Amino acid sequence: MMNHRKRLAIGLLCIAALPLLSQDTNSSAKPPASAQSAKNSKPQSPQGGDGERKFQQNCSRCHQAPEGFPSHISGTIVRHMRVRASLSQQDERDILRFLNP
Amino acid sequence: MRHYWNLLARTSNLVIASVVTIGALAAAQPAAAQNTPLISGGIGFFTITNGGNTTYIPIVTPLIAAPLGSHLLVESKATIADSFSPKGGGQSGYDSSWFLGLTYLQLDYLATPHVTVVGGEFLTPFGTYNERLSPIWIGNFADAPLIFPLGTMGTGASVGGMLRGSAVSNSKFSFDYAAYFSAASTNEQFNSQRSTGGRAGVYFPEKRLELGMSYGRVLQGTHSNFIGADLWWEPADTGFKLRSEYAHGAHSQGYWLETDYRLSRFGGPDSPLGRLEPVFRWQQTFRNSPDSSDGLPAADTNRVDAGLDYHLPHEVRINTSYSRQISSTGDRNIWQTGIIYRFLFPTWKGK
């Protein structure tokens, strides 16, 4: 058991040190690719503010945003994400507004 | 892929019937301007070389999502795959195994701003891998973590009901939950165990840190508990991601740690170098007592996976990885490659 704990601790330490090597100032927050390139779905500040943040917090953490999609499926995408990512109704609305300002 | 294939023991008639039914239901609804049903998913081709034998796997995983009115959503995902493996026993040529079936088929009712009621067959909410990273166009590696069967009740799917949603969500933190009950089903299409469980997680957006706890209990045969914990950290302004899970069952336990780092700092995400994404996964499983049914290796196992993904334009990605698995039952080298295209389009043209 001690061996298991030791190996686990070493593994965690190594992984925890990795971000120190990976500071990336060029990848600062910008509108996700999906919204940037979605047909008829470009975000506009300030309407997109909350939605953009929530998009990045809830959608971009797991996967790359799609390069583009027709605006008439944006509601379906966000409803699917509401269930899959356990979003609240307000989160769903904000993200949808971000995708369709 | 072993665990993944366990999700695929379904047949064609139900898939076709489900897609037709969902399409018909959706078509009968006057879709709102943004609520046209969609088809999404991934199509890929993988090669897995394990112990010198290479298996070729073409696979398609279509998903259909169809809103019904303002509170309902029907969603279903299927898997269509073939596997070409070398014949054993000194024979030349390949054997083929064909899979086609549902991964899930669920009806979601958006009951309140914070509660969604799910019924049907759904992905078991234990840990993060099953619900978030198992789609082929999302996962960094072709195969699931070794501890995947723990808590997901073997198949990864449950048949019954689930409550889920976001209890609290603000700029400081959010708290989400999922709780389910599953009936026992030996139906080939909807294979599940009688079980219950769920997951709760808290996310701190400023730190980009998420902590989650999972619980599952098998309510048939010998009752047993599963406990899980997960931690995700994706610091802002970096291309770095850390994802990890721990799971404990009655006879075994283990964890995985996965990191990836998109090299977008070198010329942006669309530059030749910025499209590269080194990925790394470290796994350990520990066998506490013999159990041939829990899906984990029979002996303590260490495994390291190191890979390189390349994001091509137009939703195409190439995955490559090398894995070294070390165990008292034998060490193995595993090479995996894959090319995946992610598709997303409406079922019909919008107005």
Confidence of residue B22 (pLDDT cuts 50, 70, 90): low
Asked whether residue B59 is assigned to any structural domain, the reply reads no
A24/B110 Cβ within 8 A: no
Torsion of CA B22, B26, B32, B35, to 10 degrees: 20
Asked whether residue B18 is assigned to any structural domain, the reply reads no
A25/B34 Cβ within 8 A: no
B176/A76 Cβ within 8 A: no
Residues in chain A closer than 8 A to B32 (CB atoms): 75
ipTM score here?
Answer: 0.85
Residues in chain B closer than 8 A to A28 (CB atoms): 237
Distance from CA of B88 to the nearest CA of A (A): 36
B236/A75 Cβ within 8 A: no
**Residue B133, domain CATH:** 2.40.160.10
Asked whether residue B252 is assigned to any structural domain, the reply reads yes
Burial zone of B284 (CB within 10 Å; 0-12 exposed, 13-18 middle, 19+ buried): buried
How far apart CA B207 and CA A91 sit, in angstroms, is 19
Residues in chain B closer than 8 A to A79 (CB atoms): 35, 65, 67, 73, 110
Asked whether residue B291 is assigned to any structural domain, the reply reads yes
How far apart CA B159 and CA B193 sit, in angstroms, is 8
- The pLDDT of residue B20: 54
Q: Which of A4, A80, A86 sits opposite B286 (nearest CB)?
A: A4
- The pLDDT of residue A18: 42
Asked if B326 and B302 touch (Cβ cutoff 8 Å), the reply is yes
3-state secondary structure of A52: helix
Residues in chain A closer than 8 A to B36 (CB atoms): 70, 72-73, 76
- The pLDDT of residue B349: 76
Asked if B115 and B90 touch (Cβ cutoff 8 Å), the reply is no
Asked if B292 and B309 touch (Cβ cutoff 8 Å), the reply is no
Average pLDDT over residues B153-161: 91
Q: Which of A70, A72, A80 sits opposite B73 (nearest CB)?
A: A80
B236/A29 Cβ within 8 A: yes
How far apart CA A41 and CA A58 sit, in angstroms, is 18
Asked whether residue B55 is assigned to any structural domain, the reply reads no
One-character DSSP codes across B7-70: TT---HHHHHHHHHHHHHHHHHS---TT---EEEEEEEEEEEEETTEEEEEEEEEEEEEEEETT
Confidence of residue A47 (pLDDT cuts 50, 70, 90): very low
Query: ∠ CA B123-A86-B263 to the nearest 5 degrees?
Result: 90
Q: Which of B32, B118, B342 sits opposite A75 (nearest CB)?
A: B32
Asked whether residue B297 is assigned to any structural domain, the reply reads yes
Average pLDDT over residues B283-308: 92
How many domains is chain B built from? 1
Higher pLDDT, A8 or B222: B222
Which of these, B42, B75, B106, B125, lies nearest to A77 by C-alpha position?
B75
Residues in chain B closer than 8 A to A23 (CB atoms): 237-238
Residues in chain A closer than 8 A to B37 (CB atoms): 73, 76
Q: How far is CA B201 from CA A86, B38, B124, B177, B198, in A?
A: 10, 29, 15, 6, 10
Query: What phi, psi does A42 have (nearest 5°)?
Result: -85, 135
Asked if B191 and B179 touch (Cβ cutoff 8 Å), the reply is no
How far apart CA A26 and CA B216 sit, in angstroms, is 42
B351/A72 Cβ within 8 A: yes
Give the range among A97-101, B245-249, B311-315 with minimum mean pLDDT: A97-101
Average pLDDT over residues B83-97: 87
Which of these, B28, B111, B97, lies nearest to B67 by C-alpha position?
B28
Q: Is the pLDDT of residue B200 over 90?
A: yes
B108/A25 Cβ within 8 A: no
Q: Averaging pLDDT over each range in A25-39, B12-26, B146-160, which range is the top one?
A: B146-160
Give the range among B86-90, B155-159, B297-301 with minimum mean pLDDT: B86-90
Q: Which of B25, B38, B137, B280 should one mutate to test binding to chain A, selecting the residue with the greatest count of A CBs within 10 A?
A: B38
Average pLDDT over residues B249-273: 92
Average pLDDT over residues B230-259: 94
Distance from CA of B94 to the nearest CA of A (A): 35
pLDDT above 90 coverage of chain B, percent: 70
Q: What is the mean pLDDT of chain A?
A: 67
A15/B257 Cβ within 8 A: yes
Higher pLDDT, B150 or A60: B150
How far apart CA A8 and CA A30 sit, in angstroms, is 36
Please identify which residue in the block is written with the tokens 């943040």: A53
Q: How many C-alpha atoms does A15 have within 13 Å on its Cβ side? A: 25
- The pLDDT of residue A9: 54
Confidence of residue A76 (pLDDT cuts 50, 70, 90): very high
Q: Which two tokens stand for residue B217?
A: 């209990």
Other Cβ atoms closer than 10 A to B105: 25
Residues in chain A closer than 8 A to B239 (CB atoms): 22, 24, 27
Q: Which of B76, B122, B133, B166 should one mutate to test binding to chain A, selecting the residue with the greatest count of A CBs within 10 A?
A: B166
B268/A72 Cβ within 8 A: no
How far apart CA A25 and CA B64 sit, in angstroms, is 38
- The pLDDT of residue B238: 84
SS (H, E, C) B80-146: EEEEEEECCCCCCCEEEEEEEEEEEEEEEEEEECCEEEEEEEEECCCCCHHHHHCCCCCCCCCCCCC
Q: Is the pLDDT of residue A71 over 60?
A: yes
**Cross-strand bridge partners of residue B64:** B39, B76
What is this structure's pTM? 0.82
Q: Is the pLDDT of residue B178 over 50?
A: yes
A72/B34 Cβ within 8 A: yes
Distance from CA of A90 to the nearest CA of B (A): 7
Confidence of residue B46 (pLDDT cuts 50, 70, 90): very high
B169/A91 Cβ within 8 A: yes
How far apart CA B148 and CA A39 sit, in angstroms, is 38
A61/B284 Cβ within 8 A: no
Confidence of residue B218 (pLDDT cuts 50, 70, 90): very high
Q: What is the mean pLDDT of chain B?
A: 89
Tens digits of per-residue pLDDT, B108-130? 999 999 999 999 999 999 999 99
Domain extent, residue B111, equals 2-7+104-341
A69/B345 Cβ within 8 A: yes
Distance from CA of B276 to the nearest CA of A (A): 13
Q: Which two tokens stand for residue B245?
A: 């899970």
Q: Is the pLDDT of residue A45 over 60?
A: no
| B349 → chain A, closest CA residue | A72
How far apart CA A6 and CA A4 sit, in angstroms, is 5
